[in-house]
Amino acid sequence: MKEVRVGAIGAGGVFTWGHLPAYPKIKEARLVALADPVETSLKVALKKVKELFSKEIQQLKEAGLDDEADRLSQILSEIKVYRDYREMLSKEDLDLADICTPHKYHAPIAVDVLKAGVNAMVEKPPARTYIEALKIVEAAKESGKLFQVNENYIFASGIYLMRKIIEMGQIGELEYLIVPCSHYGPEGKAWFWDPEVGGGGSLLDMGVHAIGLAWYLVGLNKKPIAVKAEKFTGVTVRSKHRFIDDYYTRIRVEDDAHVLIRFEDPDDFSQTTALIEGAWSGKEFESLMVFGTKGVLRDLRRENKLYLELREYSGLSKTIEVTGAKNTILSEIRYMCKCILTGTKSILNEEYAAEVMAIIDAAYYSEMNGRKTVFLEDFKNFAEKLIEKYGEGASEKFIEMKTSYFSKLK
């Protein structure tokens, strides 16, 4: 196999304006089909396909790269569209499905894809709940296929440089991190605010980024062991009434989350705590900050340039400009393609995805229980009891519990 045959499932904004622009530039990928139940979405996506591929073809020809231009021309002429992704899976010889649907459909479609013998790549979050994520783990194990949850933030040049500095020991042993990932809310997309479709609010949508960054910077070999909704903010609703898709309403999901996560090194049992912020109510922290036993590392912007500032407790300090900005979505897709071509498991695999969802749901559970510390094993035991009691309805039950809690906040 020289290239990965990709079928996209969900042709809305995330795919059309996020993932799609990467495909003409990834030589390891061949986009063969699009699937979406909404005809308008397919038409918009297909129009964008022609625009992006035609532009890249022209640039390649101008650069004298006729073979590459001919390859893209062939891809463009052969792309098919489907209203049902199941039909696409049955008719197309796919190596990878790129799933970009609303959250409710992430896990069910990923399971269908894996069971069909196709590798799966799903936009974050991997599921609405930890319980749903367990089904992805099971399907990946049974099928032997590869899975990746897309966390593009870890592919950013500044994050990668920060991780290298940490791994080289320049700030000593990691003690504490502050990782903010926030904006003021997706008011234009009503489904984000629907707990049944979105599964949750800002913690699930933005907090998932912060959790992924924190874990990557701490080291993916570390194990998350405990979670706590931070005492003074926690997981809450701050701006209770909003115009959602031009309709004024009281929101039923959280729009702010400050959560503490404790990671443990399995070799020496040392621990690192991360404070993550996932909010639709704006950023409260100026920058991402990492505190070690030797010094502090943070990112900062000056005159539209990104820098890392390293300050040692001895008094020495230096500022490093971050260069080589990357298209993080292109990087995550290309990385998954290379994993498939080499038969290598992604670092953002199904086990990672399930643990991230366990952290998120344990944070909700902590909030609902007076912001007490929740050990992940204890939360997983609670989830197992929900499964035993409610069976296939266990995930919906947990979402119902969250919705009831946030709806009652004054």
Domains in the chain (CATH in brackets) are: 4-151+329-349 (3.40.50.720), 154-326 (3.30.360.10)
Contacting residues for 220 by C-beta, under 8 A, at least 6 apart: 347, 352
Strands 374-375 and 223-229: antiparallel
Nearest to 32 by CA among 87, 2, 74, 86: 74
Nearest to 186 by CA among 121, 101, 250, 244: 244
Q: Which two tokens stand for residue 264?
A: 């443990």
pLDDT, position 325: 86
Percentage of residues of the chain with pLDDT beyond 70: 100
Q: For the segment 60-118, what is each residue's pLDDT rounded down to a tens digit?
A: 999 999 999 999 999 999 999 999 999 999 999 999 999 999 999 999 999 999 999 99
Q: DSSP string covering 305-345, please? A: EEEEEEEETTS-EEEEE--S---HHHHHHHHHHHHHHHT--
pLDDT, position 17: 95
**Within 10 Å of residue 319's Cβ, how many Cβ atoms?**
11
What is the mean predicted confidence (pLDDT) over 306-333? 95
Q: Is the pLDDT of residue 287 over 70?
A: yes
Q: For the segment 334-369, what is each residue's pLDDT rounded down to a tens digit?
A: 999 999 999 999 999 999 999 999 999 999 999 999
| 115 φ/ψ angles, rounded to the nearest 5 degrees | -65, -25
CB 111, CB 135: distance < 8 Å: yes
Q: Can you tell me the distance from the alpha carbon of 257 to that of 254, in angstroms, rounded to the nearest whole number?
A: 7
**Three-state DSSP class for 384?**
helix
Contacting residues for 387 by C-beta, under 8 A, at least 6 apart: 131, 394
Q: DSSP string covering 43-85, please? A: HHHHHHHHHHHHHHHHHHHHTT-HHHHHHHHHHHHH-EEES-H
Q: Which two tokens stand for residue 311?
A: 């300050």
Q: Is the pLDDT of residue 225 over 80?
A: yes
Q: Which one-letter DSSP state was computed for residue 100?
A: -
pLDDT, position 1: 62
CB 128, CB 192: distance < 8 Å: no
Contacting residues for 265 by C-beta, under 8 A, at least 6 apart: 219, 221, 222, 223, 271
Under the banding of pLDDT at 50, 70 and 90, the label for residue 286 is: confident
Helix (H) or strand (E) holding 398: helix 394-407
Q: Which two tokens stand for residue 205?
A: 């949508």
pLDDT, position 62: 96
